[in-house]
Amino acid sequence: MIIVIVIFVILSLLTGCGVFSRDHANIKWSKSVTAGSTLYTAANIIDIGQTAYVYGSDFEEKNPLLSEGTYLPIMAISNILLYYLIKYIDPDLRPWVVWPAAVIKTGGVIRNSTQGIGFRIPVVFNY
């Protein structure tokens, strides 16, 4: 919860500095930003599958924010937030936001894979 508050405060401060603007939303994404966003989304989908695998195995989830019932909405929201962050941020700053996020997410997926964590499609509806 503290992380969410810190992110909210940072975003609020940046909004006041003119880094965020509705005017930026109409500026087309560069190929680099599109590639970074695609990489983040792909890694996030794999990470969701890995987290589902963790909860169905003997592995332990190390992220305190991700419980068995909350990991899917939290990870989906992270993708949506990154999209809106990129959309409204100054176009010159977009690569500096999307690529670190994509590299960190991809690094986590690779680390999970090297530790033997597999992939499982999460069960959204349990009838």
Per-residue pLDDT of the chain (127 residues), as tens digits, is 455 555 555 555 554 445 555 666 677 888 999 899 899 999 999 998 898 888 888 888 888 888 888 888 888 888 888 888 888 888 888 999 899 999 999 999 999 999 988 888 776 544 4
What's the pTM?
Answer: 0.77
CA 99 to chain centre: 11
Domain total of the chain:
1
Which tens digits make up the pLDDT trace of 58-82? 888 888 888 888 888 888 888 888 8
Range of the domain at 94: 30-114
Residue 23 maps to a domain: no
CA dist 122 and 64 (Å) reads: 19
Residue 5 maps to a domain: no
Residue 63 maps to a domain: yes
Residue 119 maps to a domain: no
Residue 75 maps to a domain: yes
Residue 127 maps to a domain: no
CA dist 105 and 94 (Å) reads: 17
